[in-house]
Amino acid sequence: MSTATPTMQPHEIIWTLTNHVFVSRAVHVVAELGVADHIADEIVSVKALASACAADAEALDRVLHLLSTYGIFDRRDDGYVHTDASRLLQSEHPMSMRAYARMIGMPVIRASLDQLEYSVRTGAPATQLVAAEGLWPYLVAHADEREIFGQAMTGKAAADTAAVLGTYDFGRFDTIADIGGGRGHLLRAILDTTPTSEGILFDLPGVIETLEVGRDRLTPRAGDFFVDPLPTADAYILMEVIHDWPDAEAAAILRAVRRAASPGARVLIIENVLDDTSPDPRGHTLDVIMLACTGGRERTGTALDGLLKAAGFSDSTVINTGGPLRIVEAVAAGQAN
Ligand SMILES: C[S@@+](CC[C@H](N)C(=O)[O-])C[C@H]1O[C@@H](n2cnc3c(N)ncnc32)[C@H](O)[C@@H]1O
């Protein structure tokens, strides 16, 4: 397997990372073509796969051969079988990452990546060159991409959600508001494990209006957290929301939560928390994605504590979930700032 590791020779590190963009692109394309949906338990010939996906057989084989060196698909005779990783590219897998690969491959994200130099020179999100209105209004206005984004968040969160639920006791709250909760996959999973809690799912009107499946004890609420009052709740979840925004906007969201919260209510920021003593490539990859695509950033526990205190929260604690996400819990102090 040829991922870059610190044990590689220096020239190999540069070669591997420089060219890795082609490997990533191969994952996007294979996800887009739906190749994994055409493989079950038996070997499927390249010819049959190419025909099912409207692809050129030789070209598809070359791309799949590359991915198989990373453990995505297993090349056997004249065809392919699944590996654990390639199964995650199946649309119906309960932890499917197909939509996540398609999302990163969407033109609006790829074009932002192409313009990373603009972000590095200016500090501003490259997305503003591609979708001047910003990523969230862009997604609201583009139904196909919004659908892929929603599926991507749901699929990606499937593994993380189990770690969060296994770590934190949500059952002690009567009302839990998931702010910027998207399709509500985390809130639904929480309500499944807390028989009496009520949930409020707050997101932009363009997201809330597309929700198809209602459920008991879950109230959707459409609004803009920069403009509209947030619901009253005992706990406020912000999963992968604060990292989408620069400090000024992140602080404004936390202040809006604090204005809605009674003293003693909890805010739970659930996202990747950077640890300067042990830098993690995943956290720093997300940080650069945020730089280019949203203008946000990943933060350390100390940086999040600073934002929380300034917004009127105290006693912040970082809780490890055992997964890549951590929970930063803080308490609404006596006075809203
Ligand atoms: C990265 S997604 C996270 C979704 C979900 N919390 C999760 O972890 O899968 C950020 C969410 O914030 C929502 N959002 C962005 N701007 C918003 C605003 N001004 N008011 C309310 N929600 C907003 C988006 O629609 C999106 O669902």
Q: Which amino acid is at 37?
A: D
- For residue 59, the enclosing domain spans 10-93
Domain boundary among 64, 93, 122: 93
Domain check: are 137 and 229 in the same one? Answer: yes
Domain boundary among 65, 93, 121: 93
CA–CA distance from 126 to each of 31, 107, 287, 292, 297 (Å)? 25, 13, 14, 5, 14
pLDDT at 262 over 50: yes
Residue 104, in any domain of the structure: no
Domain check: are 137 and 218 in the same one? Answer: yes
Band (pLDDT 50/70/90 cuts) for residue 335 is: low
pTM listed for this prediction: 0.93
Number of domains comprising the chain: 2
As given in the structure block, the two tokens for residue 62 are 């070359």
Burial readout 241-268 (b: 16 or more C-beta within 10 A, e: otherwise): bbbbbeeebbbebbbbbbebbeeebbbb
Domain check: are 203 and 298 in the same one? Answer: yes
Which CATH number belongs to the domain containing residue 18 in this structure?
A: 1.10.10.10
Domain check: are 70 and 130 in the same one? Answer: no
Give the atom of ligand 1 at the shortest distance from the alpha carbon of 237.
6
Residue with the nearest Cα to atom 5 of ligand 1?
181
Residue with the nearest Cα to atom 20 of ligand 1?
224
pLDDT digits (tens, 9 = 90+) for 123-176: 999 999 999 999 999 999 999 999 999 999 989 888 889 999 999 999 999 999
Domain check: are 115 and 76 in the same one? Answer: no
Residue with the nearest Cα to atom 10 of ligand 1?
241
pLDDT digits (tens, 9 = 90+) for 26-59: 999 999 999 999 998 899 999 999 999 999 999 9
Which among 136, 186, 244, 326 is the best mutation to test ligand 1's pocket, defined by most ligand atoms within 8 Å of the CB? 136
